[in-house]
Structure 1
Amino acid sequence: MNPTIQDVARLANVSIATVSRVLNDQPGYSEKTKQKVLKIIEELGYQPNAVARGLVNQKTGTIGVLFPSVSGLLSAEILHGIETKAHEHRYSVIVCNTAENREKTIKYLQVLREKRVDGLIFVSEAVTEEYYEIFCRMDIPVVLVSTQSYQYPLPFVKVDDRNGAYAATKHLIDKGHAAIGMIAGSEDDPIAGWPRIEGYRHAMREAGLSLEETLVQSRESFHYHEGRRGFQVLMKDHPELTAIFAASDELALGAISAAYEASITIPEDVSIIGYDNLILAEMSVPPLTTIAQPFKRMGSKAVRMMLDLINGKEAESTILPHELVIRDSVKSR
């Protein structure tokens, strides 16, 4: 038979109400009592029923997280930050992989509503009117990570992608490069596509360098194979290029692979800088110079913001700093 809250109270020699307060992190007991109750809970292997607890305090101790993809390293690092901070506060995390698909996203939002999650973290995807209407019907706090909405009043945590892209391009310029191309996401992508392209253009314009449209290779995604194709097209159209800013590390690694096949040496012939600082950037040959996003901190900060909202406090949107990580894929001219 599974242990009950009554068993915990009896062995700890406290009331059931005290055990409930400890479980729900409410005041009204000493630190000594808290430790005694937690010790008994651990020894018995007692698992409080989330639904039952929710009937009492209107909370289930769960947070829903929606990712456009759970297979990427970027998502893994954000999730690590979310789970670590959530578990510190005894919250569980329900992760949903939407595959950037409208129907799947709506279905998962319905599931999370049925599960009565206390809050929702929405990662790396644009908030549509349809999604926002569902958020409002769920009537729970929503925090955005690595994205933001200009249309809807939702708190977010992210880096400034325009400034990050500017810093990447400026690094190439400072190293003496003038013929600089870019492998980018879609200009129609308001999250990471257009802002990073604008950051590149700002740096080039500021330095008085060429801004031909064909210097920017806009791709459908930020994935490896798009980097390969983008590099091939760029070098065919602009063989004079000495440097490329790739708007993600995966794009950069695809470009390095295509360069190897074309007998183009990185960085002796062409310098490449990426964006994200995934672990793959360290494993690249040569190791990739890149702009680091603090993904784990983003996830952790999102949970802290979420808990403030759950507890009736305000949560201000946060822009975290990016960092230029210098390795071996960029050479001075």
Structure 2
Amino acid sequence: MNPTIKDVAKKANVSIATVSRILNEQKGYSAKTKERVMEAINELGYQPNAVARGLINKRTQTIGILFPDVSSMFSADILKGIEEVAHNRGHSIVVCHTGESGNRMMEYLQLLNEKRVDGIIFTSAVITEAYYKTLKEMKIPVVLVATQSYRFPLPYVKVDDKHAAYSAVSYLIQKGHRKIGMISGDMADKIAGRPRVEGYKQALEDHGISFDEKKLVVTPGFSFENGSGMLQKLLKQERDITAVFAASDELAVSAMSDAFEMGIHVPEELSIIGYDNLKVAEMSIPPLTTLAQPLYEMGKLSAELLLDMLVTGETVESRIIPHNIIERKTVKKVN
């Protein structure tokens, strides 16, 4: 016969109400009591009924996650972190692929509302007034990851994109490069496109290097496909570039592919640094030097903050996550 909550309460020498509060992450018990109850649960092999728990606390133990592109390596790393925390804390996830369509985003927000998710993690995209209005009407916690909003008061977890780009370009300058080009994402993208270009320009200015528009090419996005042919375009505009900062690892690997087709050796003839530290950076030949944002850790933290908000009912503080340079073999020191 399967153990019941009554069996757990008896073994831990507490009331059924106390076991229920612990299972539903409510207040009113000590750390020692929780430890005793959890030990009883593990020893008995008790499996709490999710439906019954939902009836008690009016929750579904489910969180929704909105990604513009669920197939990207960027999204996969964040999702892995979110899923680990959600699973460990007894929650399921519903993943929605919104694409670039505002209509599709609204459809998924409506779907998540109908499914009565307990909270939402919103990734990468810009929060519009329509999205915010819908989220507010749902009256559930929301945490942004790898994006932020100056206009709407939503907590976020992200790297400072401008500062991170500044660090990547400064690294190239410290290696002796002064003729530095950039392959950028969409400049209309206020989250990652424009800030990374601003970081590039600021690093040049602070090191006494004039910005030259010929050394910047802009793509529609951050994917490998977006970067195809961009290195050729950049070098056609300014041939004497010695280093390139690509606004994503996929753009950087695309540039390396173009360099191979053009007979340009990396890093002997051209240094390249990426942004993200995706798995593809390790797998490229040569391995890609890149600016790392800890996507897996960002996913974990966003889920922890969201679930904490569910327990406390209080809004959490936003978090700016540290970034760092991962040195591999695509940047050469020059005199």
For normalisation by structure 1, the TM-score amounts to 0.92
- Are residues 1:193 and 2:197 paired? no
Deviations 1:93-121 (A, max 9, x none): 11111112212211111111111111110
Q: How many residues align?
A: 325
SS at match of 1:127: coil
SS at match of 1:111: helix
Structure 1 match to 2:4: 8
Whole-angstrom CA distance in 2 between matches of 1:263 and 1:30: 64
Q: Counterpart of 1:206 in structure 2: which amino acid?
A: D
Stretches of structure 1 that go unaligned for 5 or more consecutive residues are none
1:37 aligns with 2:41: yes
Please report how far the alpha carbon of residue 126 of structure 1 lies from its aligned counterpart in structure 2 after TM superposition. Answer: 0.4
What is the SS of the residue equivalent to 2:241? coil
1:139 — aligned with what?
139
Could you say if the C-alpha distance between residues 205 and 13 of structure 1 is closer, same or farther in structure 2, counting changes exceeding 3 Å?
Answer: closer
Distance 2:53 2:34 in 1: 22
The alpha-carbon distance between structure 1 residues 114 and 263, as it changes in their structure 2 partners (threshold 3 A), is: same
C-alpha separation in 1, matches of 2:5 and 2:252: 58
Matched, 1:181 2:177: no
After TM superposition, the structure 1 = structure 2 runs for residues 240-251 of structure 1, keeping only pairs within 5 Å, are 240-251=240-251
Q: Within 1, Cα distance between the matches of 2:8 and 2:317? A: 41
How much has 1:22 moved relative to structure 2?
4.5
Q: 1:16 to 1:287 in 2, by over 3 A?
A: same
User: TM-score of the superposition, structure 2-length normalised?
Assistant: 0.91
The correspondence of residues 69-88 of structure 1 with structure 2, limited to 5 A, is 69-88=69-88
Do 1:182 and 1:217's aligned partners in 2 also have CA atoms closer than 8 Å?
yes
| Identical counterparts, % of pairs | 48
CA contact (8 A) 2:64 2:117 kept: yes
2:309 matched to which residue of 1?
309
1:320 and 2:316 correspond: no
Distance 2:44 2:4 in 1: 6
Q: Secondary structure at the match of 2:4?
A: helix
User: 1:158 & 1:22 partners in 2: Cα distance?
Assistant: 31
Q: Distance in 1 between matches of 2:163 and 2:22?
A: 45
CA separation of 1:322/1:111 partners in 2, compared to 1, >3 Å: closer, same or farther? same
2:55 partner SS: helix
Q: What amino acid sits opposite 1:328 in the alignment?
A: K
Q: Is the Cα contact below 8 Å between 1:8 and 1:41 reproduced in 2?
A: no
Q: Are residues 1:102 and 2:102 paired? A: yes
CA RMSD in angstroms comes to 1.9
Q: Does 306-315 or 30-39 show the bigger shift? A: 30-39
**Per the alignment, do residues 244 and 282 of structure 1 end up closer, same or farther by CA in structure 2, a change over 3 Å counting?**
same
Structure 1 counterpart of 2:130: 130
The alpha-carbon deviation at position 319 of structure 1 amounts to 0.3
Partners of 2:102 and 2:49 in 1: CA distance: 35
**1:156 aligned partner, one-letter code:** Y
Paired residue secondary structure (2:151): coil
- Offset at residue 12 of structure 1 (A): 4.7
Contact 1:8 1:19 (C-alpha < 8 Å) held by counterparts: no
Stretch moving more, 97-106 or 133-142? 97-106
**Where in structure 2 are the equivalents of 1:184-333 lying within 5 Å?**
184-310=184-310, 311-333=312-334
CA contact (8 A) 1:22 1:37 kept: no
Rate the CA distance shift 1:136–1:199 in 2: closer, same or farther, 3 A: same
